[in-house]
Amino acid sequence: MDYVNFDALVSTEWLAEHLDGQDLVVVDASFFVPGGAAPAKAQYDAGHIPGSVFFDINDIADPDATQDHTVPSAAVFSEKVGALGISNTTRVIAYDAMGGGCAAARVWWMFRAYGHDKIAVLDGGLTKWTSENRPVSTEIPEITARLFSADKEALARVRNKEDIRQNIDAEGYQVVDARAAGRFAGTDPEPKADLRSGHIPGSRNVPFASLFEPASKTFKSAADIKAQFDAAGVDLDAPIATTCGSGVTACTVALSAYLLGKDDVAIYDGSWVDWGSDPDTPIETGPVS
């Protein structure tokens, strides 16, 4: 079973051949949990794919939000990505240090939500690139700002806490949680001490790490990805909203569903940081029955 939408990924071989291509921008979208963007930027400064620019998901975000990397307005997104030298004709390749799990898939999802389909994730990311002894650089490229204009608002693909609360009873869409099984079940602690443990009632669990080959950090085969969704009881023919810790690895699950042909997955942007910090939201513990 091959990917239905293979355009979401490019190989390290492809990128090496096209690295100097015209109207191509490579972005390093690394983001660490815990840690955030600061250690990722330090990693970028120490060595990145030549010519790539750093995509800070905490900067390309809603400046007025109380939570990190909240989806920005189309105007903010347009201004910020234009400053990275990206226009509406640019092909964008996003990579991170985890093959797409933190936060290249988030960048992929945002570009698509804003109507820009010329976006793909480097399969295997920096892990595979460096394991193949491909070049890295400490040179920071000079950027010429370009005009980017989002052709739609991403908010149509965003779910908030009230949406999720109402869906518990309405069951209008499946909620798929990308966190590790222990965090989902409430048996492992959350990285942030002020968060309760457990999951949104009725949600299903597809840990994002289960979608990668452990050594190479490349995405698993279509058949193996489909098996993960099936095992979690997720119907790919029905509506889905994904969630995680803070809205990053939820996008890895969305990308995986896209590889199988599903292109309408929504994201609960606040995710568990939003839900688990609110004492009034209901939670369940234990694995899915």
**Is 280 exposed, middle or buried, given 0-12, 13-18 or 19+ CB atoms closer than 10 A?**
exposed
Interval 10-41: pLDDT, tens: 999 999 999 998 899 999 999 988 788 899 99
Euclidean distance between CA atoms 289 and 270, whole angstroms: 25
Euclidean distance between CA atoms 159 and 247, whole angstroms: 11
Residues in the chain: 289
Fold of the domain built from segment(s) 6-154: Oxidized Rhodanese; domain 1 (3.40.250)
Interval 54-67: pLDDT, tens: 999 999 999 999 88
pLDDT reported for residue 182 = 97
pLDDT reported for residue 78 = 96
Fold of the domain built from segment(s) 155-275: Oxidized Rhodanese; domain 1 (3.40.250)
Reply yes or no on whether 244 is catalytic: yes
- List 107, 126, 244, 255, catalytic entry: 244
**Is 12 exposed, middle or buried, given 0-12, 13-18 or 19+ CB atoms closer than 10 A?**
buried
Give the residues of the chain that fall short of pLDDT 50: none
User: Is 60:83 a contact under the CB 8 Å cutoff?
Assistant: no
Q: What residues are paired with 54 via a beta bridge? A: 28
pTM, 2 dp: 0.95
Where are the chain's structural domains?
Answer: 6-154, 155-275
Q: Do domains 6-154 and 155-275 have the same CATH topology?
A: yes
pLDDT reported for residue 289 = 65
pLDDT reported for residue 282 = 98
